[in-house]
Amino acid sequence: MNTERNKGRLAYMTEPGSLEIRDYDLPTDIEPGAALLEVLQTNVCGSEVHIFQGKHPLFRCGGLGHEMVGKVLALGEALSTDSAGTPVAVGDRVVPIYHAVCGHCENCVRGIPNACVLSYHHFAKTHLRPHFHGGTFATHYYLHADQPFFRVPENVSDAAASAANCALSQVLHGLDRANLTLGQTFVIQGAGGLGLSAAAVAKERGARVIVIDRVAERLQLAKAFGADHLVNFDQVTELADRVKLVQQIAGAEGADVVM
């Protein structure tokens, strides 16, 4: 942590594989509808690994990190509730949607704000003022007025909340669209952050959950997240055998939904 109270610190990727720690003044003029947060917890998402390895189609440099939970340090004018209408005050914990939602573009108007054409408006742009935006590998985060955000209830831990704006929300949305319902069989291929979140969400929806992976520790985690059946890729190496296994559990028609 920086000892100067008006300064913050962030990690900037100058090129794939190379990080630089940078100090900047914290913004003092918080725009209407915006907020300044202190980052309480941020996660390393699979996307950060891809970006750091130079495998992302868009980003070759910039601030990293997007999964986070933060504490409100300052609120801009006219900001008194989160995007669901829950009152927010300085000191509250909140989770922002990490991309921008303009509300006016074709996709926003069509009701798919997750595909807003301006979604990457702030993303990774920590070299530009107010610096603490678009990247959560930082001490602070500037929440822009075009980023929806939500207050975190008291009984939800930082660890649980900090993946809610990426892994958890993506599988919630995906399983909504796939209309996964009670009693269906759901196969998850890959027990990473999204796969594990999906196991928990699917279990809550009453589905029968089968998880396939080749890492034993991940499979054990999948079980803790609600998986009913585990298939180790390395033990069932033939595709036809894995299909047969799923059919034994789900019936001849196989899985209803696959992720």
In the complex with Zn ion, which residue's Cβ is closer, 108 or 199?
Answer: 108
| 116 in Cβ contact with 101 (< 8 Å) | yes
Q: What is the closest distance, in whole angstroms, from the C-beta atom of residue 146 to Zn ion in the complex?
A: 8
In the complex with Zn ion, which residue's Cβ is closer, 117 or 243?
Answer: 117
Query: How many Å apart are CA 108 and CA 111, to the nearest integer?
Result: 5
Q: What is the closest distance, in whole angstroms, from the C-beta atom of residue 8 to Zn ion in the complex?
A: 22
**166 lies in the binding site for Zn ion (CB under 5 A):** yes
- Cα angle value 122/9/194 (rounded, 5°): 55
Query: How many Å apart are CA 164 and CA 197, to the nearest integer?
Result: 9
Q: What is the closest distance, in whole angstroms, from the C-beta atom of residue 139 to Zn ion in the complex?
A: 20
Instruction: Report 102-161 residues binding Zn ion (CB under 5 A).
Output: 102, 105, 108, 116
Candidates 45-53, 132-140, 144-152, 225-233: pick the segment binding Zn ion (CB under 5 A).
Answer: 45-53
Candidates 33-41, 99-107, 139-147, 226-234: pick the segment binding Zn ion (CB under 5 A).
Answer: 99-107
Q: What is the closest distance, in whole angstroms, from the C-beta atom of residue 106 to Zn ion in the complex?
A: 8
In the complex with Zn ion, which residue's Cβ is closer, 44 or 243?
Answer: 44
From the list 19, 30, 13, 16, the residue with the least C-alpha distance to 129 is 30
Peptide bond just before 87 cis, omega within 30 deg: no
Sheet holding 140-143, edge to edge: 140-143, 35-42, 68-75, 93-96, 149-151
Phi, psi (degrees; rounded to nearest 5) at 89: -140, 165
Sign of the dihedral defined by the CA atoms of residues 127, 129, 134, 136, in that order? positive
Among 26, 34, 35, 45, binds Zn ion (CB under 5 A): 45
Q: What is the closest distance, in whole angstroms, from the C-beta atom of residue 203 to Zn ion in the complex?
A: 21
In the complex with Zn ion, which residue's Cβ is closer, 33 or 254?
Answer: 33
Please, which residues bridge with residue 15 across strands?
18
In the complex with Zn ion, which residue's Cβ is closer, 47 or 83?
Answer: 47
Candidates 4-12, 39-47, 86-94, 146-154: pick the segment binding Zn ion (CB under 5 A).
Answer: 39-47
Instruction: Take residue 93 and report the two structure tokens written for it.
Output: 């914990």
Q: Given phi > 0 = left and psi -120 to 50 = alpha, else beta, which region is 207? A: beta
Q: What is the closest distance, in whole angstroms, from the C-beta atom of residue 209 to Zn ion in the complex?
A: 21
Residue pointed to by tokens 């069932």: 236
In the complex with Zn ion, which residue's Cβ is closer, 41 or 47?
Answer: 47
Q: What is the closest distance, in whole angstroms, from the C-beta atom of residue 166 to Zn ion in the complex?
A: 3
Give residues in contact with Zn ion (CB under 5 A). 45, 47, 102, 105, 108, 116, 166
